[in-house]
A and B are shown apart, each in its own frame.
Chain A
């Protein structure tokens, strides 16, 4: 019965001090929301199991040699697969892009080549039509496809007669046999499923095809046993073929990851821990603030508590009685935070799916779920312990006698005052560090967003093409293909200009007479092959001529070099027709320079001028590369322009699967969007942390000052002016500000040094001072305001009232 009275009393207290209640609630809801949202978002991203029946037992195969992850060699896997004891349904798949065309327009969708048991393996049946049968897998079978619900919805307006219809996929008439239920995109983000091509089923030992696989460990085996068995089986086969066909050396080992784990590349644990720690420390800050506010309340009531104790109330009753306010406010805060997080998660989910829906793994769905709710309960308990129990317990364990005798809050108030000064310092330190780091990253993202990339990516589409050794056996065949592709593409009416680019990484410039075998001594220079003209990338000719048809396999090998390279190595001589030696993939080539072009940005010179790194351009008609990217600038609309790529491709070779045919700006735009979004989130969370710290500082300061009301009254009674009182209080606040800020600046200095090294010292040093100065002044103003405002209030009351204040 008396517990109900305690609760009623606590509720009345909360209503009586609406400002206190509002601040406390705000701090709590903020801290809980940030930590809960971070947890839930990352949990879904990293740990959430596949939303399929038995989804948590599905494993994805991963292979490594000597600890380094690598692609899974297809031949070895398919051979080893036969005799496995520990694995159920080890199935292979290959994810790639498919072109669905309707007349002159089309769309690229991510799809998967699969084995016929995929749908029964994942225990999900089509909602329309049927899944694959073993007959569909035969090379003699008519081409078939199963579509995802969203593809059916978007591309075929949920046509209920779709099953049996023929659509063109990679220019091949293919019969739709089924539609999968909504939300099903196994294995990752598949929009359509096709039978595994014959090519992948009848591989020979010399192939270098790669593949992916999933499966389930049989209940009688452990995951480790299964990993060992697959690893050994594949390695046995690999060692034979490796010797025979000069594949890279090394022992194969297998690891089984869940799909979510594999998706985050195993770095998930680190990311999860790091960000949750940051978020949790914000919750901790919130708890400390709230705990202190409640402790101040408990101290105000210490006399009452002492009287109750003197009358014989047991300690645990006293503690509980002091805790009720905190408990009620925490429960309310948790409830609000859960509602808020639920909304935020829904919003995040909608936003991400609107932006990049088709690239997201299908199990990445955000929303309120059981783990989040359990975590909310956990956080609530932590909060109650930190913010209610500890202050109440401390207050209840006071020295009753001295409190009753003294009549003032002296001793307890003094302890609490010291504690709160330390907390204010800690908060200023945390927030200044946070803001200084934030200002660097804000600057960095601005720098990158506004970076002067001289390349003009408007109206440019690019796509990658990989030529297999099996179908294109000789280098000449590969060169021929890309040349053909280039010529045909340029002939399209809507293609203005094109270029085929092969990346060779770096080549070594072997300088005159120095080829004495001393390796790694020579300068390494970024090298790429081109069919077409460097002006496509805004690298205009400085002297000489561009690479063109003359630079064919029968002609001497020619190169273009960048202006910076010319100036670096041959500042005082003409380089045209100069002969130089370059080592490319361990082969020495003697080439002659036919032209010099302007510098362009390359990846190793982001923080420096374009001239800081050199480039060599070789002719794509003289050097072959299996994987190359085709860039072209188009006129007219983008879908027709994309279609042109496929038209050229399908006339040349229908079996080739192109890689990411899309506007060149897409990546850049996406990176930009991601950066903007990340900085919004960072700013949002950082801003909130700042607000939290400020409310905390304000709360702590006003409590300290409230506790000193009586003292302030005495000082004023003996003649201190308002100004003198305010100055005194500000001076004490400044001390904490100074300590916290210097610690923050110290950390910032350390970070700046690291950052300075990272950016090759290319950001002027003065900028760090400007950033530090701005943050310092900003914080100074804000924190002093947070201290000033309760001070102002303290002198607003008549000294007489202050003297009566207890």
Chain B
């Protein structure tokens, strides 16, 4: 089976006011369908950058990226948007809900950019995910009227509404207290059980351990990649960052 995500020698270079930052440096990573991956590492090591490239929110400076067998580095903006719309769900640390839209409208958003869906279908799908995150009683509220945990549950619901192949979460519990964090982690767990592929950035070792696979980054490179809590240290080939599991 070919992997769902296949990153080959991906690098990202930021150039601002003559300062060059190599946020991601020659990363190779493949994720199979149904995997639950936790990405961790110190602040500024390039986790968010890598995740946004995987989610087609940003393009790599060099390297190639195959998503479900398609080389996405070749796609134009509209094709990339279509993939984000149908195949990917995002959860951000800062929720990123639109403050002018109600809970319901926020969740509905990805569906409004799909063709051929009728109103009933949309309503049904939204209500379904609302129930899943237990936010049905708040669907006409606006984000500013919700607590942080509730906002993040809405954000999770929005990530699910299009039944994506692949969920990307960037520190989904970073802004939450432990109780709310737990709720969100449980939700992700559930999704994983249902067969979703998940890649989550997290600082929290506790959360990381809930994933089956742990990837660790340092200074733009992947320094370890282990399955479960076996925590197998990887040997890093210094020239290619090739990770091999011992």
Contact = CB atoms under 8 A, between A and B. Distances in A.
B144 A406 contact: yes
B21 interface: no
Q: Which of A406, A408, A799 has the most CB of B within 10 A?
A: A799
B63 interface: no
B100 A719 contact: no
A406 B151 CA distance: 13
Interface stretch (A513-521, A574-582, A708-716): A708-716
Interface in A380-400: none
Contact of B86 (A711, A719, A723, A798): A719
Nearest to A718: B110
Interface in A393-437: 406, 408, 410, 414
Contact of A718 (B52, B78, B99, B109): B109
Nearest to B84: A719
A714 B57 contact: no
Contacts of A803: 57, 92, 96
Contacts of A339: none
Interface string B89-128: 0101000111110000000011001100000000000000
Contacts of B86: 719
A717 B80 CA distance: 10
B158 A718 contact: yes
B81 interface: yes
A722 B78 contact: yes
A303 to B, nearest CB: 14
Given A406-B144, A717-B84, A799 B57 contact: yes
A774 to B, nearest CB: 36
Interface residues of B, number: 28
Contacts of B52: 800
Contacts of A717: 55, 57, 84, 90, 96
Contacts, number: 69
Contact of B78 (A414, A713, A721, A799): A721
B98 to A, nearest CB: 5
Given A798-B57, A803-B57, A722 B81 contact: yes
A724 interface: yes
Contacts of B230: none
B82 interface: yes
Contacts of A721: 77-78, 81-82, 113
Contacts of B98: 711, 714-715
Contacts of B96: 710, 713-714, 717, 803
Contact of A410 (B84, B114, B144, B158): B144
Contacts of B82: 719, 721
B78 A410 contact: no
Nearest to B159: A718
Given A414-B100, A714-B98, A803-B92, A719 B59 contact: no
Contacts of B110: 718-719
A798 B84 contact: no
A721 B99 CA distance: 21
B46 to A, nearest CB: 13
A448 interface: no
A718 B52 CA distance: 12
B58 interface: yes
B113 A724 contact: yes
A414 B143 CA distance: 14
B207 interface: no
A718 B109 CA distance: 7
A410 B99 contact: yes
Contact of B59 (A406, A711, A723, A798): A798
B129 to A, nearest CB: 13
B56 to A, nearest CB: 8
A724 B82 CA distance: 12
Nearest to A402: B144
Contact of B81 (A414, A710, A719): A719
A718 B81 CA distance: 8
A717 B180 CA distance: 24
A11 interface: no
Contact of A715 (B57, B59, B109, B162): B109
Given A414-B99, A717-B90, A800-B57, 17 more contacts: A408-B99, A710-B96, A711-B100, A715-B98, A716-B81, A718-B113, A718-B162, A719-B83, A719-B84, A721-B81, A721-B113, A722-B78, A724-B113, A795-B77, A798-B59, A803-B57, A803-B92
The 10 closest A-B pairs by CB, nearest first: A719-B85, A800-B58, A800-B57, A718-B110, A721-B81, A719-B84, A800-B52, A799-B57, A410-B99, A720-B113
Interface of B: 52, 55, 57-59, 77-78, 81-86, 88, 90, 92, 96-100, 109-110, 113-114, 144, 158, 162
Interface of A: 406, 408, 410, 414, 710-711, 713-724, 795, 798-801, 803
30 contacts: A406-B144, A408-B99, A711-B98, A714-B96, A714-B97, A715-B113, A716-B81, A717-B57, A717-B84, A717-B90, A717-B96, A718-B90, A718-B158, A719-B86, A719-B113, A719-B114, A720-B81, A720-B85, A720-B113, A721-B78, A721-B113, A722-B78, A722-B81, A795-B77, A798-B59, A799-B57, A799-B58, A800-B57, A803-B57, A803-B96
